[in-house]
């Protein structure tokens, strides 16, 4: 028996989640380009491609290299959805990638576009402009997208469209719906600015797991959700899914019990420490929806149960803990333990773990 803590994947639920989002994309005529930063795992990427994904999204050149190296069948088409500052060395890495696979990259500034162009002359890259739809992270105001796109084209880049990440959809109340509305408005406006500059925004990419339910099917051509194969405690608390749609959890052991409080060995070094203010704790228990992780340190998850009852696990018992944010949990381990419905388990390597640059 594997020593705790470790991350386990329920493959039946994973299949269901991948199938459901693929079906949603087909039904709404949106191309699906899943964000592979969530799983960093070739086996899961293959399931997504087999279900009809047009390619993968990644966050870094390192992730792109890992998936380019993986023995995947299907379209070898990667989008690095990040406004890279392309140094000479990063330029060389992009050129090497573009020789092997179809590659799309991002810009969100005039200077960034010129830098990219300087390092990738004579390389066939698709370029998209990142638009800020309200998260106020990277991306430009929609009205600036035309100038940046035109500069890029004048620098020799092949601009094919736009993308945005409506990350402010991660919030309470109707944040998901409002962010999806913002996404439509921002992409539509930026698309007009590209057209004003004679550039056809063929690619209009958006979406995130919490917002794709409301994704604007007229404004967008593509969605890039990441979390949906697994789901996580954040998605449960946002209302994007139910607990029984969560396909990944950390298996831990109860090492301490005092009254209605237990401590499991699933600390922040396996769950990740993400804890937005709108969440109810540092994660959830798959088998105890009312329990809450009230504090978290590196190797201790302090879990409070609301009532005295028989369901409070005893010392030495195993518990299944759902991370708040699955992307950061997966990045902490070298393998996922993929459990089939018949109880057998295989190890899936996290091939892009730590591929931050």
Provide the binding-site residues for a second copy, judged by CB under 8 A: 1-6, 37, 59-61, 82-85, 87, 89-90, 93, 108-109, 111-112, 115, 136-139, 167, 253-257, 261, 263, 265, 267-270, 272-275, 295, 297-300, 302, 315-316, 325, 327-328, 331-334, 354, 356-357
Q: Least distance in Å: CB of 137 to a second copy?
A: 5
Instruction: Tell me how far apart the alpha carbons of residues 200 and 220 are, in angstroms, rounded to a whole number.
Output: 14
Rounded to 5 degrees, what angle do the CA atoms 24, 63, 347 make? Answer: 80
The token pair at 197 is: 């500059």
Q: Least distance in Å: CB of 297 to a second copy?
A: 7
- Residue that is written with structure tokens 């992409």 in the block: 187
Measured from the CB atom, the residue of 188 and 295 that comes closer to a second copy is: 295
Measured from the CB atom, the residue of 60 and 151 that comes closer to a second copy is: 60
Measured from the CB atom, the residue of 178 and 335 that comes closer to a second copy is: 335
Measured from the CB atom, the residue of 83 and 206 that comes closer to a second copy is: 83
Compute the CA torsion angle 305, 309, 311, 313 (nearest 10 deg): 70
Measured from the CB atom, the residue of 200 and 334 that comes closer to a second copy is: 334
**Cα of 119 vs its chain's centroid, Å:** 28
In this structure, the strands spanning 56-58 and 77-80 are parallel
Q: Least distance in Å: CB of 351 to a second copy?
A: 14
Q: What is the CA radius of gyration of the chain?
A: 21
Beta strands in the chain (DSSP E): 6-10, 31-32, 56-58, 77-80, 102-107, 126-131, 159-164, 203-206, 222-223, 248-258, 261-264, 283-285, 292-297, 300-304, 318-323, 335-339, 345-349
Q: Least distance in Å: CB of 244 to a second copy?
A: 26
Q: Least distance in Å: CB of 15 to a second copy?
A: 25
Measured from the CB atom, the residue of 292 and 325 that comes closer to a second copy is: 325
Q: Least distance in Å: CB of 249 to a second copy?
A: 15
Q: Least distance in Å: CB of 182 to a second copy?
A: 17
**Cα of 233 vs its chain's centroid, Å:** 14
Q: Least distance in Å: CB of 38 to a second copy?
A: 10
52 and 26 in contact (C-beta within 8 Å)? yes
DSSP-assigned beta bridge partners for residue 335: 349
Measured from the CB atom, the residue of 139 and 161 that comes closer to a second copy is: 139
Secondary structure (DSSP) of 3-70: PSSEEEEEHHHHHHHHHHHHHHHHHTT-EE--BTTTT--HHHHHHHHHTT---EEESSHHHHHHHHHS
DSSP-assigned beta bridge partners for residue 311: none
Measured from the CB atom, the residue of 212 and 263 that comes closer to a second copy is: 263
In this structure, the strands spanning 300-304 and 292-297 are antiparallel
Measured from the CB atom, the residue of 130 and 339 that comes closer to a second copy is: 130
Measured from the CB atom, the residue of 153 and 227 that comes closer to a second copy is: 227
321 and 329 in contact (C-beta within 8 Å)? no
DSSP-assigned beta bridge partners for residue 261: 258, 304
Q: Least distance in Å: CB of 260 to a second copy?
A: 13
Q: Least distance in Å: CB of 275 to a second copy?
A: 7
């Amino acid at each position: 028996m594997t020593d705790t803590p470790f991350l386990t994947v329920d493959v039946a639920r994973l299949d269901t989640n991948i199938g459901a989002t693929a079906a949603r994309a087909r039904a709404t005529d949106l191309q699906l380009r899943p964000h592979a930063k969530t799983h960093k795992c070739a086996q899961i990427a293959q399931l997504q491609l087999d279900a009809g994904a047009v390619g993968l999204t990644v966050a870094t050149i390192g992730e792109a290299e890992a998936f380019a190296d993986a023995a995947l069948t299907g379209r070898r088409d990667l989008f690095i959805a990040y406004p890279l500052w392309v140094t000479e060395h990063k330029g060389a890495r992009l050129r090497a990638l573009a020789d092997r696979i179809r590659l799309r990259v991002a810009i969100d500034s005039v200077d960034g576009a010129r830098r990219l162009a300087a390092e990738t002359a004579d390389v066939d890259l698709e370029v998209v402009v990142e638009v800020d739809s309200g998260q106020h992270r990277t991306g430009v105001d929609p009205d600036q997208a035309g100038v940046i796109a035109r500069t890029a084209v004048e620098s020799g880049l092949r601009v094919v469209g736009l993308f945005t990440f409506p990350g402010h959809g991660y919030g309470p109340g109707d944040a998901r719906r409002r962010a999806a509305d913002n996404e439509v408005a921002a992409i539509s406006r930026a698309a007009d600015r590209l057209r004003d500059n004679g550039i056809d925004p063929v690619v209009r990419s958006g979406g995130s797991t919490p917002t794709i339910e409301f994704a604007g099917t007229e404004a967008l051509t593509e969605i890039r959700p990441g979390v949906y194969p697994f789901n996580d405690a954040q998605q449960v608390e946002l209302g994007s899914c139910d607990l029984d749609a969560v396909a990944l959890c950390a298996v831990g052991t109860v090492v301490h019990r005092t009254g209605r409080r237990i401590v499991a060995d699933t600390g922040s070094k396996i769950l990740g420490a993400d804890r937005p203010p709108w969440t109810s704790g540092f994660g959830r228990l798959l088998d105890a929806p009312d329990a809450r992780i009230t504090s978290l340190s590196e190797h201790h998850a302090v879990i409070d149960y609301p009532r005295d009852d028989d369901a409070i696990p005893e010392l030495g018992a195993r518990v299944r803990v759902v991370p708040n944010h699955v992307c950061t949990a997966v990045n902490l381990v070298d393998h996922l333990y993929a459990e089939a419905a018949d109880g057998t388990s295989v190890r899936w390597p996290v091939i892009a773990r730590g591929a931050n640059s």
